Amino acid sequence: MSYTTAEIWLIIAIMGVGTFLIRFSFLGLIGDRPMPPFILRLLRFTPVAVLPGMVAPLALWPAATGGQPDPVRLLAAAATVIVGYYTRHVLWGVGAGVVTFYGGLWVTALL
């Protein structure tokens, strides 16, 4: 399917307006009111939920392997979770995942 230049710009404009309205609904309409403690407590977990939500599809259905799970990616994801859980430090977990991933790619290239 191909789009004309005008259609692409129309899609970009609609997405921009939609993004603005979503953000304005939260910041503009209720931004000057104090939030209940329950909502503030839930918002603390937003970054923790977003990162796995972005990474999990790449680990479970990577496009590089045609959508099939790859043992190297699964091992790197497991190393990230385990190290992150035990150290309680995001950067140590991410570092362990990166080292495991590239180490696994290097080992499988040797086989």
Per-residue pLDDT of 65-101, as tens digits, reads 778 888 999 999 999 999 999 999 989 999 999 999 9
Non-local (6+) Cβ contacts of 85 within 8 A are 93
Nearest CA-CA partner of 48 in 72, 84, 16? 84
Q: Band of the pLDDT at 62, cuts 50, 70, 90?
A: confident
Residue-level pLDDT at 111: 65
Q: How far is 96 from 89, CA to CA, in rounded Å?
A: 11
Q: How far is 24 from 68, CA to CA, in rounded Å?
A: 39
